[in-house]
Amino acid sequence: MIEVAAGNVLKNLENITGKKILIVGDVGVDEYVIGDVNRISPEAPVPVVAVTEQYSRLGLSANVAQNIASLKSESVLLSITGDDETAEKLRGLLKKEKVNSDFLIKDSSRQTTRKLRVLGVLAGHHHIVRVDFEQRRFLSPEVEKKYLKRAQEVIPEVDVVIIQDYAKGVISESISQKIIELSKKNKKKVLVDPHRLTPLHFYSGANVFKPNFAEALALSKIDQDDLHFNKNIIRDVVKALETEGQFETVILTRGKEGMSFVQKGKIENVPTFAKEVFDVTGAGDTVIASLGLGLAAGFSVFESCVLANAAAGVVVGKIGCVPCYYEEAKAALKERC
């Protein structure tokens, strides 16, 4: 079945191009410092990194946006930044990746999220430390009003809406529910990539809900001890989330096990395409972007999952938060056929 679906997606892959997708959520910049590790510091028992390379990449919801752009479609990013150097760097990176930044709103009271990762090269790339520069708080009433006004302007123009939650403060209950309401009013599908710390009812009414398995367990409030004796745990988790969140479809991402969802009472499993896994950073962003494009192109849920697994299989073979490009997804699908 997977080979047939991959063939169908490959045959109609051009249908995902030229779509316009709105991404709602937190944004940031990922910075990487890479170097050789040959000794331990005499000042403390920590490795010394002799820096050989530094670079910055789009992070959080901005990575979803660049995945859509790299798959030959238009992404519109609706988010909040601070009025700082990181925000300017973010805009520069978005321009380079051809992502529409016209709907980024400046809030001088906030700090633009920046994540600094230090990697040491010692028989491979190893994370040594991650330093986060960020503020986790909801928007002020004034900024939220401005945000929703921009959402009202752009939603009628797009094909699909993605709510990407990193729990930094953009996705409040009122913003999420208003986005879903506006999308339904304009007959646009809403996909949600949730955060385990955000209450489930924030997302209520979305069309597609895509947690990873750990998030699904936390949000469904199913005890992990049930995993030891319940063979139907996936069905139980999906049913609990669909009922409580009033979602049409719940898709669970399960790492090396691929994806699972329930259709007509039957569990559908879509295996992973990954050959080698170097870094899973940003893979979830690639999945939600691909799912959105697949559904916008008229693919079935199963076919959209196949596209998403093909794209995710590409990015986990790279280092850092990087997108899957159209030709890479095409090659992965062709190989699976």
Give 85-135 pLDDT, tens digit per residue. Answer: 999 999 999 999 999 999 999 999 999 999 999 999 765 668 899 999 999
Residue positions counted in the chain: 337
Instruction: Give me the pLDDT at residue 251, please.
Output: 97
Q: Is the dihedral of CA 103, 316, 136, 95 positive or negative?
A: negative
- Residue-wise pLDDT for 45-69, tens only, equals 999 999 999 999 999 999 999 999 9
Predicted pLDDT at 225:
67
pLDDT digits (tens, 9 = 90+) for 321-337: 789 999 999 999 998 88
Structure tokens at 216: 């699904």
Mean pLDDT along residues 159-179 = 97
- CB distance 321 to 56 below 8 Å: no
Predicted confidence at residue 32, as pLDDT, reads: 92
Whole-number average pLDDT of the chain: 92
Quick one: how far is CA 304 from the chain centroid?
Answer: 15
pLDDT, position 278: 57
Q: Is the pLDDT of residue 203 over 70?
A: yes
Q: Which position has the token pair 């199913």?
A: 222
Q: What is the pLDDT of residue 274?
A: 64
Q: Which tokens go with 33?
A: 């410092």
Task: Mean pLDDT check: name the lowest of 65-69, 73-77, 265-269, 276-280.
Answer: 276-280
Burial of 53 (0-12, 13-18, 19+ CB in 10 A): exposed
> Which pLDDT score, from 0 to 100, does residue 263 have?
85
Q: What is the pLDDT of residues 12-27, one digit of tens each?
A: 999 999 999 999 999 9
Q: How far is CA 12 from the centre of its chain?
A: 24
User: Average of pLDDT values for 260-288?
Assistant: 82
pLDDT of res. 233: 85
Dihedral angle sign, alpha carbons of residues 282, 284, 290, 295: negative
Q: Are 255 and 212 in contact (CB under 8 A)?
A: yes
Separation of alpha carbons 166 and 39, rounded Å = 36
Q: 103 near 74, Cβ under 8 Å?
A: no
Q: State in words which class domain 2-27+60-110+136-336 has.
A: alpha beta
pLDDT of residue 229: 57
Of 122-126, 191-195, 196-200, the poorest mean pLDDT is in: 122-126
Q: What is the pLDDT of residues 220-273, one digit of tens each?
A: 988 766 665 566 888 889 999 999 999 999 999 998 888 999 988 889 999 888
With contact defined as beta carbons under 8 Å apart, do 220 and 230 qualify? no
- DSSP states of 10-42: HHTGGGGTT-EEEEEE-EEEEEEEEEEEEEE-S
Residue carrying structure tokens 């920590």: 46
Query: What per-residue confidence (pLDDT) applies to 275?
Result: 64
CB 286, CB 324: distance < 8 Å: yes
Share of the chain above pLDDT 70, in %: 93
* Mean pLDDT value across residues 278-288: 80
> 194, 191, 31, 183: which is closest to 113 by C-alpha?
31
β-pairing, 208-209 with 189-193?
Answer: parallel
Query: Cα–Cα distance between 125 and 23 in angstroms, integer?
Result: 31
Q: Mind spelling out the 3-state secondary structure of 68-115?
A: HHHCCCEEEEEEEECCCHHHHHHHHHHHHCCCECCCEEECCCCCCEEE
Residue 265: predicted pLDDT: 83
Establish whether 285 is a catalytic residue.
yes
State the SS3 of 138-201.
CCCHHHHHHHHHHHHHHHHHCCEEEEECCCCCCCCHHHHHHHHHHHHHCCCEEEEECCCCCCHH
Check residue 232 and give its pLDDT: 81
pLDDT value at residue 80: 98
C-alpha–C-alpha distance, residues 6 and 214, integer Å: 27
**Strand pairing class (249-253; 259-263):** antiparallel
Burial 211-222 (b: 16+ CB within 10 A, else e): bbbebbbbbbeb
C-alpha–C-alpha distance, residues 63 and 59, integer Å? 5
- Output phi, psi for 33, to 5 deg: -120, 120
User: CB–CB of 26/169 below 8 Å?
Assistant: yes
